[in-house]
Structure 1
Amino acid sequence: MSDRHLRPDEIELLLDGEEGFGVAPLRAHVWSCLACQGELEHARELMLALDTLPDFSPSAAFSDRVMRQVQVFEPWHAAASRTMADLVPTSRPARIAAGFGAAVTAGLATAGATWAVARADMGVLLASLGLERFREQVVAAGSDVMVTVLGQPGLETLRSSSPEVMAVAFGGFVAAAGMGVMGLRALATSSRTSR
């Protein structure tokens, strides 16, 4: 032990009056080393000075001011469990009813999902029928608009023409409709500003 001086933690052991297997060599070293005796005496004086200082307690708002500056990270699972705990009823009958309702809901959802998976082919068939019906409705509505705009002979001529002619006609219709909307908007704006 004489080849080195005491570390601060070893001096602290001696200051605290610790007893044990490793303390005896430390005491023997202090008796033989003037530098370590001085360090131990200095640490003892510091401890006495600190013990004589008055005790201060922070103000009541101190912790609030500190915690406002601390970024508290709450894991998602803790937030979720806290939210779920807030949703659980406090009375025993209400908890039983809520548990029964949750069990019935989970059972129905499971049964519905099982039925949907078992009947996936039926779902695909219904979806394709629904899409076909939707497409038919869109085509019928488009035909009605075209009959209104072009008349029945114009629609028949358009149907018998090539896809390029149909695309040009459709583009012209969209352009005319857009110009009509812009004209109505300009008219409405000008009538508001003239008041």
Structure 2
Amino acid sequence: MIDRHLRPAEIELLLDGEEGFGVAQLRAHAASCSVCQAEMASAQEIMLALDALPDFAPSPAFADRVMSQVQVFEPWHAAATRTVEQFIPASRPARLAAGFAAAVGAGLATAGATWAVARADMGLLLAQLGLERSREQVVAAGSDLASTVLGQPGLDALRGSSPEVMAVALGGFVAVAGMGVVGIRALASSSRTR
């Protein structure tokens, strides 16, 4: 026996005439409880009033009006398929020719990619040659700059010395050039203040 009042869903089960596990207990409680009997009678009246209402059907254009206001998301693969279908010919011979052309194009693209991968060593060789040429240009420009600043005897002395002596000479040059720039700026700013 149930020691509580029936819930709306349980009352609906009884009114619909459902059968199953636990329904016998619900019926026994409803037969002995005046509150649940009143609830069932009220629910029965509502069901009868709803059943008496006429059935209405929406107008045929109702669905079209609703769907025109709904934003439908189309997945990318569906859009791509629809786009590709526009370019597929309608006749069978034209479809066969288009398929053959697509197969030949795919084969040529595969062959070209395979050739490019097989010749990757050629690309690396060309890149190394380009880098070597660029390094030679930078060294030649640096040599010309050193020859201009130090003269040919100073350049010859640097070429015959160790890397440490070259680093000290380069550091000294940068320091002297920096002091020259600072000195020129100091002179320029002092001449403006007068």
Superposition TM-score, scaled by structure 1 size? 0.54
Structure 2 matches for 1:1-195, cutoff 5 A? 1-123=1-123, 125=126
Note if contact 2:30-2:37 (Cα within 8 Å) is conserved in structure 1.
yes
Q: Give 1:53's aligned amino acid.
A: L
CA distance in 1, matches of 2:6, 2:85: 54
Are the counterparts in 1 of residues 6 and 36 from structure 2 also a CA contact under 8 Å? yes
How many pairs align? 131
- Structure 1: which 5+ residue stretches go unaligned? 133-195
Q: Structure 1 residues 90, 36: closer, same or farther in 2, change over 3 A? A: farther
Give TM-score, length-normalised by structure 2.
Answer: 0.54
Q: What does the per-residue CA deviation read over 1:61-108, in whole Å, with 9 as the maximum and x for residues that have no partner?
A: 222222232222222223223333444445554444443333322222
Distance 2:78 2:55 in 1: 38
- Over the matched positions of the two proteins, sequence identity in percent amounts to 74
User: Could you tell me which amino acid in structure 1 is paired with residue 100 of structure 2?
Assistant: F
Displacement of 1:53 after TM fit? Answer: 1.0
Q: Which amino acid aligns with 1:3?
A: D
Q: Report if the CA contact (8 A) 2:2-2:26 is conserved.
A: no
Q: Of the two, which has the highest radius of gyration?
A: 2
Q: Which runs of 5+ in 2 are unaligned?
A: 134-194
Residue deviations 1:22-57 (CA, integer Å, cap 9, x gap): 322221221122222222222221111111111112
AA paired with 1:103? A
